[in-house]
């Protein structure tokens, strides 16, 4: 059930009405019930997976805290972590590992008959499995470190993992940000509904007007990339950068808006990454809940452990983190290259940070901003070619064509193309104003009721007139 479907809107209206009718102390129960329904709507059998993860993680955390010895606590901790990672690996990576194994076997297989993979699993991964396991693992690490008390209420803990606004694609919410809000649950407040609806509309605009509009051209070109010219593929790569941002940040705005209407503040996941001046800064602004998760639980422990290596500890930790982060997106070499590209640039930026800083002092600030932003967006768009392609060969073929820039531009349906440019422009200008001139004048938060209303009416009219309503699923749904 995607957020921009009629079925979901109906589901949410009923959910919200009953939610605020229920006495405060029973609302956790309603969060679980709606979460289970939302989950079962996609695939009823798989509901067993998040319920199992919730129960195992809940029991393990309490037992770790009660354990008589540190050794016993560590054993329980490892068992729970392995269970979580095991489920994730089983559902997402079994085919990748068995396929790779069979490919290597065939490489050394001298007979002409190539073996096909007998272990191929024909199953889809359960909805949001990566997000649920990451939240569970983060929770276990915090309890093990002794930073927080284990949750005593199984219902509250299950409600945390099954809160439906964040099931599909995050944010990767920390238990200790969510659980206190669940316990101090508050009555209906005008601000929650008003701010929540506004954020939802902004997300809906990004998804329906920008992302799904761009996806028409992007899909048409990428699905037949062999027949398209270098210049067409270059424009498509840039369109895909905007599509990806509008799709994922649009989803997140909708998720945060829905949660806010229910009285919850979820973690901010995007902070206008298209205005980052370096890849290092970019990862502080893009998918923040996941990048801070990786920083805290993966990157930092590695870098600290290897800190005697000096600067190389950073390179080693960056590469390992970004390769795993790439692989997290899916079992495909394209994602590993995507991750490695970011690990590489992050390392280069780290080594050159002092010389770049000296250089910055010699050039005007505006020039530095423009070149920094252009380079960062360009590099991210480049890495997204690997992210989007089905195979590494496909990505390399696209790159080869882009470098030569030969051939004619694919100009089919000029109005759609023009509209794509216009909607990118609108989204970019609104964010540009927020980034650089936030204090000057605001449409969305204007004190005058009329200005605010006009702004959101404009977004709604754009959605109704130019929104693509059969666009389909969010890109990050599959992860």
Partner 1 sequence: MDTDQLIEQLIPIFKDVLDNDDIKLTAQTTAEDIEEWDSLSHIELTVAIERHFKIRFAAKEIQNWKNVGDLLDSISLKIN
Active-site amino acid positions: 329
Exposure string for 300-311, b = 16+ CB within 10 A, e = fewer? eebbeebeeeee
What residues contact 270, with CB distance under 8 A and at least 6 apart?
245, 248, 249, 252, 285, 286, 287, 288
Site residues for partner 1, 225-284, by CB under 8 A, read 280, 284
Alpha carbon separation from 362 to 355, 357, 372 (Å, rounded): 11, 9, 15
> What does the per-residue mask of binding to partner 1 show for 350-389, with x meaning CB under 8 A?
x--xx--x--------------------------------
Upper half-sphere CA count for residue 437 (Cβ side, 13 Å): 8
SS3 289: helix
In the complex, the smallest distance separating the C-beta of residue 142 from partner 1, rounded to whole angstroms, is: 11
Which among 13-21, 296-304, 325-333, 408-416 is the span making contact with partner 1, rule CB under 8 A? 296-304
CA distance 369 to 274: 12
The single residue among 66, 72, 227, 305 that binds partner 1, judged by CB under 8 A, is 305
Q: Point out which span in 66-74, 107-115, 188-196, 349-357 binds partner 1 (CB under 8 A).
A: 349-357
Assess 176 for contact with partner 1 (CB under 8 A).
no
φ/ψ of residue 278, rounded to 5: -155, 165
Token pair for residue 357?
A: 């800083």
| Among positions 301, 378, 425, 472, the unique one binding partner 1 when judged by CB under 8 A | 301
The answer for residues whose C-beta is within 8 angstroms of residue 57's C-beta and 6 or more apart is 80, 84, 136, 139, 140, 157, 161
> Which tokens go with 402?
């882009």
The binding track of 130-149 with respect to partner 1, each residue x by CB under 8 A or -, is: ---------------x-x--
C-alpha pair distances (Å), 459 with each of 118, 130, 198, 206, 462: 52, 33, 10, 10, 5
Nearer to partner 1, 14 or 363 (CB): 363
Q: Which positions from 274 through 293 interact with partner 1, judged by CB under 8 A?
A: 280, 284
Cα angle 265, 271, 274 (rounded to 5 degrees) comes to 155
Cα–Cα distance for residue pair 136/85, rounded to 1 Å: 10
Alpha-carbon distance of 178 to 167, in angstroms, equals 14
- Nearest CA-CA partner of 281 in 354, 380, 191: 380
* Residue from the set 217, 282, 299, 479 that interacts with partner 1 by CB under 8 A: 299
Question: Can residue 304 be called a binding residue for partner 1 (CB under 8 A)?
Answer: yes
User: Could you say which of 36, 51, 295, 451 contacts partner 1 (CB under 8 A)?
Assistant: 295
Q: Give me the least distance between CB of 177 and partner 1, in Å please.
A: 16
CB of 370 to partner 1, least distance (A): 20
- C-alpha span between 172 and 166 (Å, rounded): 8
User: How many other C-beta atoms are found inside a 10 Å radius of the C-beta of residue 463?
Assistant: 18
Which of 66, 114, 186, 307 touches partner 1 by CB under 8 A?
A: 307
Kindly state the number of chain residues that form the binding site for partner 1, as judged by CB under 8 A.
25
Binding mask 309-328 for partner 1 (x = CB under 8 A): -xx-xx--xx----------
In angstroms, what is the minimal distance from the CB of 445 to partner 1? 24
Residue 322 Cβ vs partner 1, minimum distance, rounded to whole Å: 13
Nearer to partner 1, 310 or 364 (CB): 310
CB of 318 to partner 1, least distance (A): 8
Minimum distance, C-beta of residue 425 to partner 1, in the bound complex (Å) = 31
Q: Which residues of this protein are in contact with partner 1, per CB under 8 A?
A: 145, 147, 280, 284, 295-296, 299-301, 303-305, 307-308, 310-311, 313-314, 317-318, 346, 350, 353-354, 357
């Amino acid at each position: 059930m995607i957020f921009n479907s009629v079925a979901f809107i109906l589901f949410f209206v009923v959910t919200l009405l009953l939610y605020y009718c229920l006495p405060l102390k029973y609302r956790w129960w309603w969060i679980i019930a709606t979460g289970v329904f939302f989950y079962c709507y996609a695939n009823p059998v798989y509901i067993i997976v998040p319920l199992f993860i919730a129960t195992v993680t809940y029991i393990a955390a309490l037992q770790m805290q009660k354990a008589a010895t540190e050794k016993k606590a560590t054993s329980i901790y490892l068992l729970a972590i392995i269970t979580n990672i095991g489920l994730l690996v089983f559902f997402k990576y079994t085919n990748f590992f068995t396929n790779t194994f069979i490919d290597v076997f065939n490489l050394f297989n001298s007979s002409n008959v190539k073996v096909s993979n007998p272990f191929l699993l024909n199953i889809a991964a359960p909805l949001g499995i990566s997000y649920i396991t990451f939240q569970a693992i983060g929770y276990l690490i915090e309890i093990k470190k002794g930073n927080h008390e284990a949750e005593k209420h199984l219902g509250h803990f299950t409600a945390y993992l099954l809160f439906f606004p964040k099931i599909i694609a995050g944010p990767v919410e920390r238990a200790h940000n969510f659980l206190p809000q669940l316990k101090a649950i508050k009555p209906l407040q005008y601000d929650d509904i008003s701010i929540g609806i506004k954020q939802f509309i902004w997300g809906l605009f990004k998804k329906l007007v920008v992302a799904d509009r761009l996806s028409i051209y992007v899909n048409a070109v990428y699905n037949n990339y062999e027949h398209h010219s270098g210049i067409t593929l270059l424009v498509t790569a840039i369109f895909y950068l905007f599509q990806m941002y509008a799709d994922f940040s649009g989803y997140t705005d909708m998720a945060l808006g829905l949660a806010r209407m229910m009285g919850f503040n979820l973690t901010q996941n995007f902070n206008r990454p298209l205005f980052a001046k370096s890849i290092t800064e970019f990862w502080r602004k893009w998918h923040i809940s996941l990048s801070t998760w990786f920083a805290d639980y993966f990157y930092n422990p590695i870098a600290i452990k290897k800190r005697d290596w000096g600067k190389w500890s950073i390179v080693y930790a960056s590469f390992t983190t970004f390769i795993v982060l790439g692989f997290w997106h899916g079992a495909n070499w394209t994602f590993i290259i995507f991750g490695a590209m970011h690990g590489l640039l992050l390392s280069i930026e780290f080594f050159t940070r002092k010389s770049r800083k000296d250089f910055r002092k010699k050039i005007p600030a505006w020039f530095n901003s423009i070149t920094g932003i252009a380079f960062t967006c360009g590099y991210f768009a480049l890495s997204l070619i690997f992210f989007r392609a089905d195979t590494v060969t496909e990505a390399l073929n696209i790159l080869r064509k882009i470098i030569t820039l030969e051939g004619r531009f694919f100009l089919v349906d000029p109005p759609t193309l023009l509209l794509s440019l216009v909607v990118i422009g609108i989204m970019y200008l609104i964010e540009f104003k927020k980034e650089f001139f936030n204090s000057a004048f605001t449409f969305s938060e204007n004190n005058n009721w009329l200005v605010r209303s006009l702004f959101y009416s404009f977004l709604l009219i754009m959605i109704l007139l130019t929104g693509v309503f059969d666009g389909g699923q969010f890109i990050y749904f599959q992860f």
